[in-house]
Amino acid sequence: MIRIKPFFIVFTIGLLCSQAWAATYTKSSSGNYTSAAGWSPSYPGTTISSGDVVIINAAVTMNADLTVEGTLTINSGASLTGTKEIKEIKTGGTLTNNGTISIKKIDKVEGTLTLNGPTTVTDDLKVEDGTMTIGSSGSFTGKKLEVEDHGSLVISGSITLSDELKVKDDGGVTFNFGASGNIEKIKVEDDASFTNSGTITINEDLEVKDDASFTNNAGGYIVVKNDLKVKDDSFFTNTGTITVEDDIELEDDATVSLNGVLNLCDDTGTEGENKFEVDNGVNLSGTGTACICSSNNNNYYDNNSNNQGAITYNQNCNGPLPIELINFRVERKDAFVMVRWATLSEINNARFEIQVSKDGREFSSVGEVPGAGTSNEQIEYEFEDFQPDASISLYYRLKNVDFDGRKGYSDLQIIKPNDENADTKNNPFIYPTVLNAGQKLTFEHVSAEVNTIELISLSGQVWTLKLLGEQCQIPTGIQAGVYVVFVKDVANTFSQKIIIE
């Protein structure tokens, strides 16, 4: 006679029951989620239990709130829509959208949320110790999104938020190359991290504080419509391009590494007086470029850092392009001006507009050339302008327009008039452009109405020079570097970069 101990019977029955309870449920016909019709083998209920798998293969209306402890999958071509919410994706739970989701809310993600199709919610979402992934074919549209408590958000597709993206308490966000975002504001704080290799538009502030870290990688492109604030012992690294349209504030012992381009530039010129402010406790390093856009006459540097690195400060640039532009040049031919340029890379680039000015201030487009979209190869471009004025100097620039409407400008190229038609009284020339402290600059074709000549360093220091005849003297003792000479009369401003050795 075989004797079986009671505890073995209980264990075996429990194991068999647990295996029997785990099931796969499939909804293959359209209708309400809570309707038994269309479910196989039966209706799974509004709590998807651990171990259970629920598959949506049709257009389903979510007429009740759901909780995900097991697995919920919306397959390609299917949808889950309605005014209810997914209360929680619990630890161990998984929601994968390969179709379409449009609901009120996904309240909290402690498990895994993967979006490979369009997903829209009308309320807030919190990723708390869970993982949210937006695939390259996926998109997420929502209100406010918080990533915290070691939670992570990884984006390869697109994200749109009408409120803020807040990353805190060791949370992490990663925008991969090719990803895009349009977000009202971004806050990174409390030991959180944020890494960008994509393209992001921030409609208000970008704020990094409280030991958080922010990295914009090479190829990363960010536009901040309001303020950039880096403070409270945080870490900020930029090897890509960031454009800020209002104030830049680096303060409170922040560590800033700049090996890319950081611009203070509103290309409409409507933001008023803006500042590029650096506190003396900020540790600056890198070999990148800080730039103030020439369209903002009231922008200024207020740089008090004791550690400057090898950063180049430009006073009069025209904003960044989401491209790597090389070999931009113009040349007069018999009946036209040849405009040539090349790019090493392009991101979301729709077209180039070729613009011309007679005074370097007011520009008009004379033609356009399609861009390459997104490319990592060198591409050569050219354009023939058959309507140039041969009697005066002309200023050429490239206007770059993205597929989403954002725009940027190249630096200027100046072409001199034909000798037989020259009329340059309002277009002064300055030489030499490389000289030593104490030497004299010579000005040709200077207007009699010139009333001010200023020498401005790239850190914003200004010297007023006195014109004696056609010359003025560079101050003695001035440091070597790149400077900009501004010549002003009652109506016009002319500028020329010079190098003091």
Q: % helix / strand / coil in the chain, to the nearest 5?
A: 5, 55, 45
Which one, of 391, 387, 381, 384, lies nearest residue 417 by Cα? 391
Question: In this structure, what are the phi and psi dihedrals at residue 7, rounded to the nearest 5 degrees?
Answer: -65, -30
Q: How far apart are CA 286 and CA 309, in angstroms?
A: 5
pLDDT at 272: 57
Q: How far apart are CA 329 and CA 92, in angstroms?
A: 59
Which one, of 194, 132, 122, 107, lies nearest residue 160 by Cα? 122
> Residue 110 — left, alpha, or beta (φ > 0 → left; ψ -120 to 50 → alpha)?
alpha
Whole-prediction pTM: 0.64
| 101 strand-pairing partners | 80, 119
Is 50 exposed, middle or buried (CB count within 10 Å of its CB: 0-12, 13-18, 19+)?
middle
CA 60 to chain centre: 37
Residue-wise burial string across 306-317, b where 16 or more C-beta atoms lie within 10 A, e elsewhere: eeeeebebbbbb
pLDDT at 318: 47
DSSP state of 384: E
Domain boundary assignment for the chain: 205-210+218-318, 323-420, 425-500
| 326 strand-pairing partners | 342
| Domain 323-420 and domain 425-500 have a common topology | yes
Domain 425-500 in this protein, CATH class:
mainly beta
| CATH number assigned to the domain with residue range 323-420, chosen from the 4 options 2.60.40.10, 2.40.290.10, 3.60.10.10, 2.30.33.40 | 2.60.40.10
State both tokens at 138. Answer: 């996926």
Mean pLDDT of the chain: 84
Beta strand 440-444 with 471-473 is antiparallel
DSSP per position, 36-67: STTEESS---SEE-TT-EEEE-SEEE--S-EE
Give the long-range contacts of residues 156-160, CB within 8 A, separation 24 or more.
157/115, 158/134, 158/182, 159/134, 159/183
Beta strand 24-27 with 39-40 is antiparallel
Question: Would you write out the chain's pLDDT as a tens digit for each of its 501 residues?
Answer: 455 555 444 444 444 444 446 899 999 999 999 999 999 999 999 999 999 999 999 999 999 999 999 999 999 999 999 999 999 999 999 999 999 999 999 999 999 999 999 999 999 999 999 999 999 999 999 999 999 999 999 999 999 999 999 999 999 999 998 888 999 999 999 999 999 998 898 999 999 999 999 999 987 889 898 999 999 999 999 998 888 888 999 998 899 999 988 888 765 544 556 788 888 889 989 888 887 765 445 666 777 777 777 887 765 554 445 677 877 888 888 778 899 998 888 887 888 999 888 766 677 888 889 988 888 888 999 999 887 777 777 888 888 877 655 677 776 777 877 654 344 444 556 777 777 888 888 877 666 667 678 887 766 678 888 888 778 889 888 888 777 787 776 556 666 777 787
Residues 6 or more apart whose Cβ sits within 8 Å of residue 186? 164, 165, 166, 167, 194, 200, 202, 205, 206, 207
Q: Is 233:212 a contact under the CB 8 Å cutoff? A: no
pLDDT at 459: 60
Is the bond into 41 cis (omega within 30 degrees of 0)? yes
pLDDT at 302: 78
CB atoms within 10 A of CB 95: 26
Matching residue, tokens 């009408």? 162
pLDDT at 429: 67
Which one, of 409, 388, 403, lies nearest residue 339 by Cα? 388
